[in-house]
Amino acid sequence: MRLNRPSIGAALGLLAVILAFRSSLSAQDAPSLPLSEEDELYYLLFGEAPLAEFPEDMLLVAGISIECPPSLEESFVLSFSEGIRVGGEMRARELDVLIKKAQERMSLSNMFYSSSASYERLETDAGEDGLIAVRVLIRASEGFWWGFGFSPWDLSIAYRNLGGAGKDLGATLGLNSQALSYLDMSISNGPFYLAAEAGHGVTRRESRIDPSYLYEELKLSSEMGIKIGDDVKLGVALGYLAFRSPDEYFLYPGYEPPSASDLALLGLSGRVSSLIGAGLRVSIGSYSFLKRGGVKAMSQLGLDALSSSFGGWEIAPRAAGLFQLRLDAPALLRLSLRERITYLPRTADAGIPQALWASAGEMRRSSALPAGELASLSRVSLDLDRVAAISLGFAELGIVPELFYELGSVKRSDYGGEARFQQDIGFLLKIVASMPIGRTFAFGVALGLEGESDSRIDFVFEVQ
């Protein structure tokens, strides 16, 4: 087809507009490596290097280029491209899948303001076998790596990029608790992970059934395991706990300590007792509120053996499970289900303090139900994707309303073995902040349905 002069002028004008738009992008978004003339035109038009023209093309990964600031280790950024290596041979469609997985891992990590993964064809073939040589390009910018939390008497702070390799170091300082925590989800950028925590705390625990008491603990815990792909983790946990019930604490003036017999029922005394626990952890599935579309599911299971000096070192088993499911409907509705169950028999015989028993109200707020040997909590919530957005310039806030229903149940042998139930319904207005804030703030109310005379309204504030 022959183009007349006006058509040529319009095409050149359109190309000039595209060039001006692309040149306005930041330097971190533009490739620094030389592209072929065809790939350069493709980049100008679509903002990324083109994939292979034919899915069945055989490719050779001739090189991997990492572009990141000095605050990030190149090996850490490279670890997101699992399955891609220099010298690897595969079909174009297979490399496309690995590239998309690398992009998704980087996006869901919340470690970078911006990130991308792509590849470009090189000018020449790799050899006589006709393989097409490509170079993989992985780019990552800095991110907001600080995290904060608070309670009435404590302040927590965490840094998520220790050593430029995505390691997490956290500290809590306050009058109620003091703690240090460390998390390395990829030791030496490999499949093994390590988590450790040391902390001390004093809390006052209240119940409508049991006497109120002060609980003080010194905790040391660790977990080490291996990641199998993106969706399976296997770990071994080991922990030590020293605990007691002090007679007084300056934050709780006027407190009357329970009698020695009441403390014994709670698995406590005024003296320091010890507890040792060891167990296995299994996690299957991936779950992220950042990843939209379809069905997301995740399940966790922990099996432990606990033994306390307060109970003469008798061994008590414990099983705890968590299941989460989310369905993203086409009409922007999101239906979520969360189920948690904990089974800890022989708590009294083994001297396990009541503070470690399962409770059906721990998810959202303190529960009117006692803790027990068997506890479960089910939560169903329905929310919209986003009803409004507010731009702050450096971040965006989304407004998300949510309705929820919770059903908790607890069984205790020392109260006749009968099950006790708790129901809550409520409404939340969630403010979802994009990176670099990366947090969700929820405000709302919850109505507790415990019978006509015991119904109550709680104000809810959450930070996720």
In the numeric block, which tokens belong to residue 408? Answer: 């908790």
86 pLDDT tier (thresholds 50, 70, 90): very high
Question: Could you read off the pLDDT of 445-459 as tens digits, one per residue?
Answer: 888 776 544 567 777
The model's confidence at residue 6, banded by pLDDT at 50, 70 and 90, is: very low
Rg (CA), the chain: 28
Domain ranges of the chain: 5-140, 185-337, 358-464
Looking up tokens 């620094």 gives 32
The mean per-residue pLDDT over the stretch 84-107 comes to 90
For domain 5-140, the CATH superfamily is membrane protein fhac (3.10.20.310)
CA–CA distance, 194 with 167 (Å, rounded to integer): 10
Question: With bands split at pLDDT 50, 70 and 90, how would you rate the model's confidence at 3?
Answer: very low
Output the average pLDDT for the chain.
80
Residue 110 near residue 293 (C-beta atoms within 8 A): no
* Backbone phi and psi for residue 231, each to the nearest 5 degrees, phi listed first: -120, 0
What is the pTM assigned to this prediction? 0.77
The answer to whether residues 270 and 353 touch, using CB atoms and an 8 Å cutoff, is: no
What pLDDT score was predicted for residue 294?
72
359 class by beta-carbon count within 10 Å (0-12 exposed, 13-18 middle, 19+ buried) = buried
Q: 420: closest CA among 445, 454, 446?
A: 454
Please count the other Cβ atoms lying within 10 Å of the Cβ belonging to residue 313: 13
Question: Please, how many CA atoms are within 13 Å of residue 188, restricted to the half-sphere of its CB?
Answer: 1
CA distance 279 to 222: 11
pLDDT tens digit sequence for 178-225 = 999 999 999 988 899 999 999 999 998 876 667 889 999 999 999 999
Q: What is the mean pLDDT of residues 52-60?
A: 72
The CB density around residue 162, as the number of other CB atoms within 10 Å, is 15
- Bin 177: left if φ > 0, else alpha if -120 < ψ < 50, else beta: beta
